[in-house]
Structure 1
Amino acid sequence: MSEILKNYFQKVLPDFTDEKFNFILYKSQLIKLQRKEIVCKQGNICNLKIFVAKGLLRNYSTSEDGNEHILQFVNEMSWTTDPESFYNNTPSKLNIEAMESSEIFAFNLEDFAELREQIPELNIFVENILTRKSMEIHKRLLMNISSSPEEKYLDFINTYPDIFNRVPLHMVASYLGLSRETLSRVRRNILKTVI
């Protein structure tokens, strides 16, 4: 798994050296997750910044009525956390769960801050990730308030084709803010127009 992490950082950091990688590896913890294992639990402090080396995670909250609301699917070569909980040491509003057997590298706040201090180019890297995430959130918000169910569905399968085939339909519906019945109807209608 460490080769996956090394290859990732070689692509995203200029002048990446074995010394820098060894320090990153030293400050991380490799965690193997079973399907349905929760790595951050709603109500607890989410004290990990997570890099997914293998597998698929989901970030979701559970409302008082027991309904799940999926915020994000996180596949290989992606990062996740509950930023509010991670940076402010407050109870998490999210669960982060493995949807399949997964292997992650996890960093606590102190170690991640030390990495950013010792490897300054990580700050630009983190800024780039935050900018990308912000753009994804804005796109999703606009999609949710201004798009039809058909447009939401088509955007999801075009944006995340590798994830679509790995998650159950009811979770896709939850992510899109649709009922399972609405999503099934949308899929049937789209298939009719294709045939």
Structure 2
Amino acid sequence: MIAGFQTYCRTLTDLNVEEVERICTFAIPRSLQKGEHLLQQGQICRHKTFIIKGLLRSYGTAADGAEYILQFSPENNWILDPESYHLHTATNFNISAIERADVLQWNKEDFDRLLKEIPTLERYSQQLASRNNYNSRQRLFTTLSSTPEEKYEDFVRNNPALLSRLPLHMIAAYLGMSLKTLTRIRHAQLRR
């Protein structure tokens, strides 16, 4: 598992070999089965998690039991509940494996120490947070301003590799529409 993270660091960060090795010494490998939770509503998020293999989702459940997916996280992505992690509060969300997954985790105390010791990691972490903030704002704007057809087209354009890995009901939950609406849109596109 560590080798996958080292490759990620070499190709996507400015971290040097010694810094990557230092970060890896605190990594905790973990495997998740399909459907297994990494974090459940009511718990405190105590780890930053990097996905080596598999696909995870972050989601909330409404009072009526409906699930609303906030984020899909495939390989070479990080996932956590930032508010719970930084504020040490119980989360309102869940993170679970859509597929069997191999991940690396760092507990908050260790990761905070690494951020202080390795300025390059601190900068990269800030860049990731900024990019996630931008992507979240773009997603929110699309959700509020687009038709169901436009939402689906945006999803297909920005996530082509996920289409074959996700059941339709999860795509619908991510897009904030019913499965019936999503099915209608897909059939209409196939007829064109």
Aligned partner of 2:54: which letter?
G
Runs of 4+ in 1 over 3 A off after TM superposition: none
What does residue 41 of structure 2 align with?
Answer: 42
Question: What is aligned with 2:7?
Answer: 7
Residue deviations 1:6-37, cap 9 Å, x none?
Answer: 011112332511x2222111111010111101
Matched position secondary structure for 2:35: coil
TM-score of the two chains, using structure 1 as the length reference: 0.95
1: distance between equivalents of 2:88 and 2:140? Answer: 26
Q: Distance in 2 between matches of 1:100 and 1:14?
A: 30
Q: How big is the alpha-carbon RMSD for the aligned residues of Structure 1 and Structure 2?
A: 1.0
In structure 2, distance between residues paired with 1:85 and 1:188: 40
Structure 1 gaps, min length 5 = none
For 1:47-126, list aligned pairs within 5 A.
47-126=46-125
Kindly tell me the number of residue pairs found equivalent between the two proteins.
192
One-letter code of the match for 2:45?
Answer: C
- The secondary structure found in structure 2 opposite 1:106 is strand
Q: TM-score, normalised by structure 2?
A: 0.97
Distance change (3 Å), C-alpha of 1:15 and 1:122: closer
Cα distance in 1 for partners of 2:181, 2:9 equals: 41
Identity %: 39
Partners of 1:121 and 1:82 lie apart in 2 by 23
Structure 2 runs not aligned, ≥5 long: none
